[in-house]
A = this chain, B = another copy of it.
Amino acid sequence: MREIFKQEIEQLGLDLVSMAEQMSTGIEKATTALETADLTLAEQVIDADERIDEIQHSIDEQAVSLLARQQPVATDLRVVVTALRLSSTLERMGDLARHVADVARGRYPESAAQGPARDVLLQMATQAAKVGTQTVHLLQTHDLGLAASIESEDEVLDRLHRTSFEVVLDDSSELTRQQLVDVVLLGRYLERFGDHGVSVARRISFLVTGDLTNAVAAAETARTSEGA
């Protein structure tokens, strides 16, 4: 019984990694689609999001089935409940990558990252993709150095987000209405992506260290300061 339980917990972990990998590929492709106005890539991200949702359903079913059959306690219970929460966060990250790809597709054959905000948007997307990659490695290794790194990458992302508002609010920046809307929405999607990465980082830290301060902080990362 115990052996099966261990295998099932390992499978949950593998599925979370697989989900994170697809999410990470999604944000990378969305970043390139944004930069190069690549319609095919954008559509790949949009299609792949369904696969991410399917993995989430499978993880959630496995986790609830584990709770029912194995009735874990203590650390085991914490692992299963954390898996439920991580799957939900990774699903949101996948959605946000898809939103970015949606905007890229919507502006095709133009690039959605144009004009005076192009640089900051591409920097934000690249930064989000970095958070995506580190999230995968964190789930693979549980290396808390990566958790700390995700937090600092997210701070860079937040700074870039503030810069994007400076560009938008500067009346001398030549932006069409559509470009203004795109900068605000893409900025919001990418900033939220980073927040969710931080939430994963804190949940894994909690799992590894049992430090509740991090758990509370994780619950609070959904909070973001007002956009502008």
Contacts and interface: CB of A to CB of B under 8 A. Distances in A.
A49 to B, nearest CB: 8
Interface in A186-204: 188
Contact of A184 (B92, B181, B220, B223): B181
A38 interface: no
Main secondary structure of the interface of A (DSSP, over half): helix
A53 B215 CA distance: 13
A77 B60 CA distance: 13
Interface residues of A, number: 48
Contact of A57 (B102, B180, B216, B222): B216
A88 interface: yes
17 contacts: A53-B223, A60-B219, A67-B81, A68-B77, A71-B71, A95-B222, A102-B225, A106-B226, A168-B180, A168-B181, A169-B177, A169-B178, A180-B184, A182-B228, A184-B185, A185-B188, A188-B188
